[in-house]
Structures are given as C-alpha cells and as structure tokens.
Amino acid sequence: METEPKKSKGWCWWILVLAIAAMVVASATLTIWSNGRHSKVSSVPDRPGKIAENYADALKIAIQFFDIQKSGKLVNNKIDWRGDSGLEDGREEMLDLSKGMYDAGDHMKFGFPMAFTATVLSWAILEYGDHMKAVKQLGNAQASLKWITDYLINAHPSPNLLYVQVGDPELDHECWERPEAMTEKRPVTQVNTSFPGTEVAAETAAAMASASLVFKKINSSYSNLLLKHAQQLFTFADTNRGSYSVSIPQVQPYYNSTGYGDELLWAASWLFHATRDESYLRYVTLQNGDAFARWGTPTWFSWDDKLAGTQVLLSRVNFFDTTEISDGENIGLQMYRKTAEAVICGLLPDSPTATSSRTDSGLIWVTEWNPLQHSVASAFLAVIYSDYMLTSKTETLYCSGKHYKPADLRKFAISQTEYVLGNNPMNMCYLVGHGSNYPQYVHHRGASIPVDAETGCHDGFKWLESLDPNPNLAVGALVGGPFLNETYIDSRNNTMQGEPSTYNSALLVGLLSGLLTSSSVVSSFS
C-alpha cells in the first residue's frame, strides 16, 4: 500500500543517493548489468516471425469485447445484439460523455479503471503493434483505444476539472436491463481543486500520454491534443494531492484506491516517454522515488497498483536509453530495474524467491475477486521484460543464486496463457468464445437479456435469475476466473468469478499480442 508523500529533505536525499550508489557498485550479484555474466544472445528478428495461430485466434476474440462494452452512438457496429446507449450522458453539464466503455457487467462508467484500460491497451500497441498488424488486429485495437480517449478528452473540460464517473452505482445496481433501455438517472461526478482525485487524474494523464504516442504518426493533431490534456492533468494531480476515495467516498465499495503515489510515478513515466522531457525522469527518480517507489519490494500490477508496471516501463529506459541521463537519475533507474527484476523473479515458479501466491497447477492467484487479472497482468509484464532482454541482448536474469534466460520468462507467460485458454483442471477456457468449453452464464446484463425483450429496470431481474444460458454471446469476455482450489461455478449470480471487465481484456490483449509471434521491440516509443 502506498503511503502519503514525505517532504523532501535535501541532505537526507543525498545520503540516500550515496548509499544507493554504493549498493549498486558493491552488489555485483544483485544486478544483471553489473555481474560480469553478460554474453550476447542470438539476435531477434526486426519483423514478426511465424504466427502462433491459437494465440492469433484468441487475440481476435479478446479484442471484440471492447465493442461489446462501448457506450454512445455505435458506428459500424459489429455486435448484432448491441445498439446505441448512454446518448444523454453528460448532458446535464453540457458535455458529451456518451462515449467511453462500461467497465464490467453493469452500466457504470468508472473513470479510474477505464483510464487504466486505455493505458494498458496503449502499452500493448506500442510494444506489439507490429504483431497486431500481422494478424490484422492493429486497427481494431487503435479504434477501441480512441473510443475511450475521445471520452476522456470530453471528461476534462478545463485544466483542474475531471469528470470521473457517469451513473449512480446504487441506482445502477438496482436495475437489470440492457444498456439500450436505460431510463434511470445518470449523474456525473467530478474531481477538482476542492475535491481532489490524484489517482484518477494521474491515471487519466497516463492514458492520454501513452495514447498520444500511439497516434503520433497516424493522427498528429489528435496526438498533440492528448498530450496537452495529459500534461494538464498531471499538473492538476500532483499540485492538488488527495485521494479520490476520500473526496468521493461512494466509490469505495467499487474501485477504492489504496494510494496515489503509484499513479503519479506511472503518469510521469509515460509523460517522459511521450515528451522526452527530463523533468519527468527527475520526478520519478530524484524527487519522488524515495517517497513512492517502494524500491526492492515486489507488488502486483492492477488497476489499483501501478508500481510493478512502472518498474518494468522504466526498465525500458535503463535497457535502451541512458546516454544523456544524469548519474543520480541513472541510479534511480537502476533501482526501478532491480525492483522489476524482483517482481519477475517472484513469478518464475522455480525461482528461489518464487511467490507462493499460485494454485497447485501454477496459476498466479492473489484474490478471490477477479483472480485472473493478476495472472494475466503478471504474464504480460513477464513477456515484455523477456523481450527487453532479448532486444538488448541481455542473456540472463539473476534471481538469488539462479540464472534465467528470456525463454524462461516467456515460458512462464505461456503457462498462464495456456491455463486461461483451457489447460486447467476444469478444462475451461475463461475467454468467452474461444474453443468449445467456456462460461455460458457470464455476469453481464446485455448478454443475458434477449434483444427483443421488453423489460424495464426491475422486471429485468428475471433474466439474472434465469436458468437458461445467456442468449447473447459476450465474445472476448475474460471472466474473473477460478477459486484457489481451481474450481469455477458457472452461474450468472456468481459475480466474484463470472464478471468480465475491460481492464482484464486490455491485459489479455497485450499478453496475447506479445506471445503470438516474436520480434524485437522498438528502443524508443517516440
């Protein structure tokens, strides 16, 4: 859990810097760039190689879930049981908040997880867009991303104001209806200087900064607009520090934040990649690393905690781009990379520091609610890190006495992916629409109600209670996943296991894109 920021004390900081420098120099066995065991690996191809057809099929399916989750006036609608919805969202504030995506099986638009969805999807495109292009999915991924960023732009009408929610979760959860038939009130919620929301503002800044890189070469004016919003939002988030869970206590039962330091580092890291402005690098290293980074402590990557993702993302800088970076910043980057290594070492099943948070069959398992988020997120980080190693020709990762190759990281990522796709004790594919045995009772309102059903808010609950499978297939939905004992109860009322989410899908899209073929990653996004 993140802590409140500590005031910077200049002399304390320089003592810390000197201590870190001494540790980096002395600890030859803790860092793969100073242990003297480097050797060249075989070069990886610049372009995608042979395609793994099973992963290509799964990727095509997974990307479709974004179309199912779209709000607004649907253009070139690809889902025959979906239609226009949420067209009046934001109208009371004279805003067009009709776009964006419903986060899960209900009809809320929660800005915090939606922005995280966009950031992860951007990251996936930036690392593996060439892979997506090879299987004709890059355009679909970019279109899904833009559907979210269009919404985020409209949700940020002035520098210090961000609308972070559409709908009242209590009212929304009193209904079971198709999104096209919504009639209940859908109020909007904002954060501002009086009621700050550092986490959600910073995550939205990260989404816009990363997306600006995605669109930089294909729509430069849109990219510039996104970057402008990102910079304004980061300044707003950093200047007006305060938890959105405190400002808006009604979000706590849904997407409660455990702290905002991770989002500030995450956003600044993306802004550095997007602008190459060294002030953002100073922010994450010299200025705020000691307060927020939790160097040396592995964490789980999720919509709430961005530290592990930040550590891997900043490792990219340490792998590929240290030529004009100051010594102090380089020390900070090495600490981020060392912590990223600790994260990855914890994931490898036979590592001396392997986490015990996994099932008997080897699936990373952290929480009862939506456990596959952590499994897929962990595998996504592992495949990215393995590709950083390959592209930089770094042969080994050192984990407390054992050495691992990039292929070992990829093997772990494949094990998690294969489990999700059906290689598990239930022989259940947790990606709806892939294979022949997947959940039939997904907790999803639109999927559970026939298109021609004339039901309102309350009488629609008969479809929730129905014993029949969903009449509409939620193609691409990644459900929450199995219990620790590796069982899964396929029931529409089983929200804990059976509700999909857009952020799960974004992580899975990134993972599948990384695994469906091989090629070197770019050394710089810009």
CA 230, 233, 236: angle at the middle one, nearest 5?
A: 150
Residue 58 to residue 421: CA distance in whole angstroms: 8
Give yes or no for a contact between 203 and 119, defined as CB atoms under 8 angstroms apart: yes
What proportions of the chain, in percent to the nearest 5, are helix, strand and coil?
A: 50, 5, 45
276 burial via Cβ count (<10 Å: 0-12, 13-18, 19+):
middle
Residue 354 to residue 345: CA distance in whole angstroms: 6
Query: Is 229 part of the annotated catalytic residue set?
Result: no
350 burial via Cβ count (<10 Å: 0-12, 13-18, 19+):
exposed
Residue 397, classed as helix, strand or coil, is: strand
- Tokens representing residue 519 in the block: 């090629």
How far is the CA of 78 from the CAs of 63, 187, 466, in angstroms? 12, 29, 27
DSSP result, 483-505: -TTS-----TT-HHHH---HHHH
Rounded to a whole number of angstroms, the distance between the first and last alpha carbons of the chain is 32
Residue 162 to residue 113: CA distance in whole angstroms: 14
User: Which residues are paired to 158 by β-bridges?
Assistant: 161
Residue 253 to residue 421: CA distance in whole angstroms: 31
Short-list 425, 410, 430, 428, CA closest to 361: 425
Residue 59 to residue 395: CA distance in whole angstroms: 29
Q: If you search the block for the tokens 């610049």, which residue do you land on?
A: 46
Residue 289 to residue 278: CA distance in whole angstroms: 15
DSSP result, 323-341: TT--HHHHHHHHHHHHHHH
Among the listed residues 38, 443, 444, 458, the single catalytic one is 443
Active site residue ranges: 443
